[in-house]
Amino acid sequence: MANKEHCVKQSLGLLEVCGLALAISCADIMAKSASITLLALEKTNGSGWMVIKITGDVASVQAAITTGVHFAERQNGLVAHNVIARPGEGILPAAPPPPPAMEPEATASETVDVVSETPVDTFVEAPVEEAPQKSSLVSCNLCLDPKCPRQKGEPRSLCIHSGKRGEA
């Protein structure tokens, strides 16, 4: 029984506003006004409405929701709000954020190793094979004739096709 007295029951606060920008602004103001934990910023179905879910002790959640409601009313974007002082066992989600945060780190290091090996092989082989073929076939960039002795950058008069352009 002593454990239950020391355990502070978390309350749940919900604020529904119109628009993502207003939801982010409200969440920021609510987090700065009281000691709460932001659970989620969820998009609802239709109309661009967003739900801000927060937890904390009852007084902090009520203060944060009141602050968010006043700000959303000034911006003409308030849809609904509610505070559940003592939610049931299944209402508040369990907090599994640490395990997913560690899994991407492990997969990221594996991905980096695989990605770093693949481009090295591709970059080394592909340009070396293609570059000599193109340069050995065409030397003149005007006529694109492989038999022309003119090299790129030399005068146009050296091209074997230079005199034929103006003639009809």
Task: Output the domain CATH number for residue 32.
Answer: 3.30.70.1710
Residue 127 domain flag? no
DSSP string of 47-74, one letter each residue:
TTEEEEEEEE-HHHHHHHHHHHHHHHHH
For residues 12 and 76, state if they share a domain.
Answer: yes
Check pLDDT > 80 for residue 56: yes
Residue 153 domain flag? yes
What domain range includes position 143? 132-162
Q: Which of 84, 117, 146 is the last residue of a domain?
A: 84
pLDDT band, very low/low/confident/very high, at 148 (cuts 50, 70, 90): confident
pLDDT more than 90, % of the chain: 41
Residue 45 domain flag? yes
pTM: 0.52
Residue 77 domain flag? yes
